[in-house]
Amino acid sequence: MKILVTGSNGLLGQKLTELLENDQSVELISTASRPAALPINRGKFSLLDITDAAAVDSIVDELKPDVIINTAAMTQVDQCETQREACWMANVTAVEYLVKAAKRNNAHLIHVSTDFIFDGTKELLDENAVPNPVNFYGNSKLAGEKVILESDISWSILRTVLVFGVTRDMSRSNIVLWVKKSLEQGKTIQVVNDQWRTPTLAEDLAMGCYLAAQKKAKGIYNISGKDYLSAYDIAICTAEFFKLDKSLIKETDSTKFTQPARRPPRTGFIIDKARKELGYEPHSFKEGLSVLASQLERA
């Protein structure tokens, strides 16, 4: 199977590239808008800006992948709020380009989406939950989903939640790494107790993409962690795991912060469908911390 991955320099992209490289039955084409962040051990790397329609057409038409996995997106929530044109281009218009290229080449498109398409008024959502974004990032990701839903191609949409992990080049941060670094530096941090998620280890999300590609699974799937935690819980668990001073973590709520974009308060996922249809089984949050810790030791 020939698989083309967009956004291969991102956290998910790096984990997915490493996973696919280990499958000898996969002919991997990893792509990103900048030179490869990881050494290419097997497969091919191509520069690709998915917001360039001609570039998307050229790469897909030339290489004719069986599956396209789109991990590329603009995901910084506040940046999306203030840079709306760039956000829409990356999260919606680029999806239109990929859909057209996939259709022309009869490729299955796997698109990674987000819990931020929901308003956070209900907890533990399944795939039938009704979207209602509260920020521009969520609006753009929902619009990207609609492009795919209204197409006549073969597709999977994988929705995920608060991805954490460590990249080989240490180029990406996330809540776990932020908490760990802050506490190691002796900094006091304020962490909210009124935003709840099912945090997702990047390796688990990569495995969800891999399983969907293997089956060319059709439909929407929730791909997240299985532990429902507040941001404060995540911080405390991280401090305890790494034996850091959790007294530096001060519990607060989201009313104390001013940010350009609103956040949905509760967006945990039910992952029963992915378990049943894809064979997906994520790590617990503590197990995920162990995976991350072992990678940091090797860095």
Mean pLDDT by 10 residues, the chain (299 residues): 97 96 96 90 93 98 98 97 98 98 98 98 95 98 98 98 88 88 97 97 98 98 98 98 98 91 96 98 98 89
Interatomic CA distance for residues 187 and 173, integer angstroms:
17
Please report the pLDDT score of residue 210 as a whole number.
98
Q: Could you state, in order of their start, the residue ranges of all structural domains in the chain?
A: 2-168+199-226+267-283
Amino acid at 280: Y
Percent helix, strand, coil in the chain, to 5, is: 45, 20, 40
Contacts of 109 (CB under 8 A, 6+ apart): 67, 68, 70, 98, 99, 102, 148, 153, 154, 155, 156
pLDDT recorded at residue 104: 98
C-beta separation of 52 from 28 below 8 A: no
- The predicted structure's pLDDT at residue 82: 97
Distance, in Å, from the CA atom of 69 to the CA atom of 50, rounded to the nearest integer, reads 12
| Per-residue pLDDT at 140 | 98
pLDDT per residue as tens digits for the range 225-253: 999 999 999 999 999 999 999 999 999 99
Which of 143, 111, 118, 61 has the alpha carbon at shortest distance from 219? 111
* Residue-level pLDDT at 97: 98
3-state secondary structure of 268: coil
pLDDT reported for residue 171: 62
Distance CA 146, CA 215 (A): 22
State whether residue 220 is helix, strand or coil: strand
pLDDT at 170: 66
pLDDT at residue number 40: 83
Could you tell me the CATH superfamily of domain 2-168+199-226+267-283?
A: NAD(P)-binding Rossmann-like Domain (3.40.50.720)
Model pLDDT, residue 38 = 82
Taking Cα atoms as reference points, which of 139, 62, 147, 66 lies closest to residue 100? 147
* Spatial contact of 6 and 74, defined as CB atoms under 8 Å apart: no
Per-residue confidence (pLDDT) for residue 153, from 0 to 100: 98
**What's the rounded Cα separation, in Å, for the pair 12 and 144?**
18
CA distance 127 to 156: 12
The residues, any chain, with a CB within 8 Å of residue 182's CB and separated by 6 or more, are 189, 248
Of 259, 293, 269, 84, the residue nearest 184 (C-alpha)? 293
Spatial CA neighbour of 185 closest among 248, 234, 232: 248
Give pLDDT, residue 156. 98
Q: What is the pLDDT of residue 211?
A: 98
